[in-house]
Amino acid sequence: MTSQTEYGHRTGRGLDVLALVSLILIACSLRPAASSLGPVLSEVQSAYTLVEWQTGLLTALPGLIFAICGFIAVPVLKKIGLFSSLVMTCVLIAVGVGARVLVDNWVSFAGLTVVALAGMSIGNVILPVYVKTRFPDRASLGATAFTVSLGLGAMFPAFLTAPITGHFDNWRVGLGIWALVPVCALVTWIILKLARSVPNLDQPEQDTHQAGPPRQHIFTSPKARYMAMFFGLQSANACVQFGWLPQIYRDAGIDPVLAGLMLTVVTLGGIPGGFLAPQIIMRNILPRFFLVTFSVSAVCGYLGLLLIPTTVPVLWAILLGYGGFAFPAALALITGRTKDVSITARTSAFVQSSGYVLAAIGPLAVGGLLGLSGGWSVPLWFMVCVAALMGVTGYLAATPGTVDEELETSAPRGGASGTCGGTTGLRGGMPGQK
């Protein structure tokens, strides 16, 4: 039995399952273009005869493109609507991932990687809006499916690209096969649209005699600023760990294979974190306490690496892995601390784009401090400070209240009442669905 919601989409048991599958597939598409490259980076270097700066640029592209393109996601959503925006996301990823393995020069490979990353960046921002509108009564289910799928979309390409490459003796197959994920996501998304089960964010006609309060920039909300700092600091932690953790272990005297395994232990923490952290945020289960524990765990992990890295190396990896629960928690805060759909979209864009700018500084700072100091003591003390600040900003971001309420408080008085941006209702200024 089906019914229709205020966003005009049909719901029912079968349609809800299909909507969840579509969410999972789209979310799984948002990481393979980045996480599949590392395992075959040496093959790509050889194929295109890359020098160091070219290789460095390829590895730096995800954070850079996520920061830049995240700002255009909301304008794209407003211009073409939810359905077309996520179609664009899937198409860009599929084309970028699939076509880059067919070209024979580095410039084209890098350009098509940018195309895929641009699609991923737009999807990063827009999917929380889909979660908010398609699963309004099951927010924790939608948030959990989103964050767990992001983790799976990063983990499986990282684990399987090298074996696939070895099996076919062709790195192009190992990279290109991940284009199938966004293709499958696109198929389910179109089927969902044909079944009229995609939320329609049309804004109803408003009374032109009423004037809502002036539109407030998300930056004016202290909670949004803390969320952006928390997102950026936890992303800086993740980027440093992905880029430097094996080397930290190796420089301490640990076998290279075991050093790589320690990073695997850290990344595996993303799966239980994807299940648990959204539940903590969406169900309001002592969120400030848990966010602080993520920070404390990361601090202890870095201190262990600093003081006794070879004594119980797996313990430091486990502690850093638990600290990584901050990532799904940061994403869940976007939907858990906003109410109006337009505020969710704008907060998502602001938090992720500005957060990735902050995140990009982390690996660069660690590399610079390593070069200046000649050892890991100074960089690791720096990361202890970063992890501690993550706890402070997480505590402040998870305080009771919403971004919507803070924007309403900061809006100049006068005019008709309503939500931020001069709109009323949950549609909050979203455009007509295309």
At residue 360, the pLDDT reads 74
Nearest C-alpha neighbor of 186 from the set 133, 194, 200? 194
At residue 37, the pLDDT reads 82
**For the chain, how are helix, strand and coil distributed in percent, rounded to 5?**
75, 0, 25
Tracing tokens 């295309």 back to the chain, one arrives at: 434
Q: pLDDT per residue over 411-433, tens digit each? A: 665 443 333 333 333 344 444 33
Query: What residue type is assigned to position 36 of the chain?
Result: S
208 pLDDT higher than 60: no
Distance separating alpha carbons of residues 198 and 10, to the nearest angstrom: 8
At residue 421, the pLDDT reads 34
Per-residue CA distances from 382 to 156, 236, 396 (Å): 31, 11, 21
pTM of this structure: 0.78
Nearest C-alpha neighbor of 122 from the set 164, 81, 176? 81
Residue range(s) occupied by CATH 1.20.1250.20 in the chain: 1-200, 214-410+417-423
Q: What architecture is the 1-200 domain classified under in CATH?
A: Up-down Bundle (1.20)
DSSP string for 110-171:
HHHHHHHHHHHHHHHHHHHHHHHHH-TT-HHHHHHHHHHHHHHHHHHHHHHHHHHHHHHT-H
DSSP string for 222-279:
HHHHHHHHHHHHHHHHHHHHHHHHHHHHHHTT--HHHHHHHHHHHHHTHHHHHHHHHH
Q: pLDDT per residue over 156-176, tens digit each? A: 887 788 889 889 999 999 999
- Which range scores top for mean pLDDT: 28-32, 42-46, 159-163? 28-32
Q: What is the DSSP secondary structure assignment for residue 105, as one 8-state letter?
A: S
Torsion over CA: 289, 295, 297, 300 (sign): negative
- For domain 214-410+417-423, the question of CATH label 2.40.110.10 is answered with no
Question: Could you tell me if 132 and 335 are in contact, meaning their C-beta atoms sit under 8 angstroms apart?
Answer: yes
